[in-house]
């Protein structure tokens, strides 16, 4: 759910735009590929010579972000049932040796353990490191630290102050193997720790972006699938949000689907499947075979005038982003650590409990 000059009532799925247009669920920074301009953005450069295609709006392009107002340790198909992430201990987990833990990066098209940046602690706005370029604004901080880490010596840590609209994200795009074919079907997982566990109307922790997949009627428009938190009874819950760039008389699509599962203050493995052609989204927790959240074709809520039955046209992915960004003022401070992020075109496994 987007905060740009909007007043939103969580739980009623009503948002009133103060202007005729809307911003995206994207922080200040990345250059969009098409569309009108939204306010409140500041540039961030892309890597590998390619322009960023998502994450925010700037002059020259509006890109998707989303959200209605309501609310593994290895890569490989072995051991996964119907595409659901299994545990790394399952037979066939790539990189798993007899009696040993699997390497989360073994054979993966994209993997980040936040270990290869000697001397990097605090991360600044527009800083580049490895495949990443950073976006950070006032009221938030972003760092690599060891306060909570799942493996190695550090994890990505984003802090957001109380009573601010702020955040920090890392964006990857350009010449990364995972983007070579502009995939429309991705899997992934990340380890995530939250404490303190502040809430807002909507904050995000991972997303993918690109032009809507070529077989869809939305081709040429920017689309995003985003993993987020929407609150329920004052508690963060796992949620998917969706955004599709406005075009002509069809306004920006801003939709959501909220799980019943709360986000605890502890380490969890959050895994996902995102299929843009089938318009299928799945989110899993801690290697369970059954998803905590499923979207087929469309979600449970949309900001008017988009209809709740409107399809979620997904992207041919050219960018991914990770971090914590709140599009409304926080009700309390939020600290999020993310480690061992894996994204691939084949099922990705969570580590064994």
Q: How many CB atoms lie within 10 A of CB 9?
A: 12
Assign 105 a pLDDT band (cuts: 50, 70, 90).
Answer: confident
Residue 169 belongs to domain spanning:
65-93+103-349
* Digit-coded pLDDT (tens) for 27-77: 444 433 332 222 222 222 233 333 333 333 322 233 333 333 333 333 333
Residue 20 within any structural domain of the chain: no
Assign 322 a pLDDT band (cuts: 50, 70, 90).
Answer: very high
**Mean pLDDT for the stretch of residues 130-151:** 96
Q: Per the structure, how many domains does the chain have?
A: 1
Among the listed ranges 5-9, 96-100, 257-261, which one has the minimum average pLDDT value?
A: 5-9
Residue 95 has pLDDT above 80, yes or no: no
Top-confidence residue, 268 or 2: 268
pLDDT given at position 99: 43
Q: Which residues contact 323 (CB under 8 A, 6 or more apart)?
A: 142, 156, 158, 167, 168, 169, 170, 205, 336, 338
**Mean pLDDT for the stretch of residues 235-259:** 96
Residue 26 has pLDDT above 90, yes or no: no
pLDDT given at position 325: 97
The span from the CA of 55 to the CA of 170, in Å, is: 10
**Mean pLDDT for the stretch of residues 138-158:** 96
Predicted model pTM: 0.76
Assign 261 a pLDDT band (cuts: 50, 70, 90).
Answer: very high
Residue 38 within any structural domain of the chain: no
Residue 36 within any structural domain of the chain: no
Q: Which residues contact 23 (CB under 8 A, 6 or more apart)?
A: 2, 3, 4, 5, 38, 39, 40, 41, 57, 62, 65
pLDDT given at position 144: 98
3-class DSSP assignment, residue 179:
helix
Residue 342 has pLDDT above 90, yes or no: yes
Q: Which residues contact 72 (CB under 8 A, 6 or more apart)?
A: 85, 88, 104, 189, 269, 271, 287, 340, 342, 348, 349, 350, 351
CA distances from 153 to 118, 136, 195, 252 (A): 10, 23, 19, 42
3-class DSSP assignment, residue 177:
helix
Q: Which residues contact 3 (CB under 8 A, 6 or more apart)?
A: 23, 165, 201, 202, 327, 328
The span from the CA of 210 to the CA of 49, in Å, is: 16
Residue 23 within any structural domain of the chain: no
Residue 27 within any structural domain of the chain: no
**Mean pLDDT for the stretch of residues 101-121:** 90
Top-confidence residue, 42 or 139: 139
Assign 21 a pLDDT band (cuts: 50, 70, 90).
Answer: very low
Assign 101 a pLDDT band (cuts: 50, 70, 90).
Answer: low
Residue 300 within any structural domain of the chain: yes
**Mean pLDDT for the stretch of residues 100-111:** 82
* Digit-coded pLDDT (tens) for 200-244: 989 999 999 999 999 999 999 999 999 999 999 999 999 999 999
Residue 341 within any structural domain of the chain: yes
Q: Contact at 8 Å (CB) between 53 and 21?
A: no
Which of 142, 163, 159, 184 is closest to 278 using CA atoms? Answer: 184
Average pLDDT in the chain: 78
Top-confidence residue, 330 or 61: 330
Residue 131 has pLDDT above 70, yes or no: yes
Residue 114 has pLDDT above 90, yes or no: yes
In the chain, % of residues over pLDDT 90? 67
**DSSP secondary structure letters along 18-31:** SSSS---S--S-PP
Residue 49 within any structural domain of the chain: no
The pairing of beta strand 74-75 with beta strand 185-197: unpaired
Q: Which CATH number is 244's domain given?
A: 2.60.120.200
The pairing of beta strand 293-296 with beta strand 167-173: unpaired
């Amino acid at each position: 759910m987007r905060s740009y000059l909007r007043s939103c009532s969580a739980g009623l799925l009503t948002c009133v735009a103060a202007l005729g247009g809307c911003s995206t669920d994207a922080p200040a920074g990345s250059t969009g590929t098409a569309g009108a301009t939204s306010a409140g953005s500041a540039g961030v450069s892309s890597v590998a010579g390619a322009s960023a295609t998502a994450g925010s709006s700037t002059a020259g392009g509006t890109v998707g972000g989303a959200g209605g107002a309501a609310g593994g340790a290895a890569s490989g198909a072995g051991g996964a049932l119907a595409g659901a992430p299994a545990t790394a201990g399952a037979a066939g987990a790539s990189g798993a040796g007899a009696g040993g833990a699997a390497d989360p990066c073994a054979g993966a098209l994209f993997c980040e353990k936040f270990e290869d940046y000697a001397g990097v602690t605090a991360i600044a706005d527009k800083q580049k490191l490895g495949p990443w370029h950073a976006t950070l604004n006032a009221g938030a901080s972003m760092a690599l630290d060891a306060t909570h880490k799942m493996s190695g010596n550090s994890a990505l840590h984003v802090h957001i102050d109380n009573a601010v609209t702020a955040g920090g994200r890392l964006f990857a795009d350009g010449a990364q193997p995972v983007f070579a074919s502009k995939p429309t079907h991705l899997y992934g997982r990340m380890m995530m720790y939250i404490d303190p566990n502040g809430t807002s109307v909507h904050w995000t922790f991972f997303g993918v972006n690109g032009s809507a997949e070529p077989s869809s009627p939305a081709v040429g428009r920017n689309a995003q699938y985003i993993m987020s938190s929407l609150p329920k009874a004052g508690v963060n819950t796992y949620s998917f949000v969706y955004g599709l760039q406005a075009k002509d008389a069809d306004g920006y699509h801003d939709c959501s689907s909220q799980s019943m599962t709360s986000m605890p203050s502890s380490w969890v493995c959050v895994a996902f499947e995102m299929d843009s052609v089938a318009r299928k989204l799945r989110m899993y927790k801690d290697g369970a075979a059954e998803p905590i959240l499923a979207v087929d074709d469309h979600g449970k809520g949309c900001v008017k005038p988009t209809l709740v039955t409107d399809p979620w046209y997904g992207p041919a992915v050219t960018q991914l982003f990770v971090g914590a960004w709140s599009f409304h003022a926080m009700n309390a401070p939020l600290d999020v650590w993310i480690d061992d992020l894996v994204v691939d075109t084949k099922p990705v496994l969570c580590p064994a409990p």
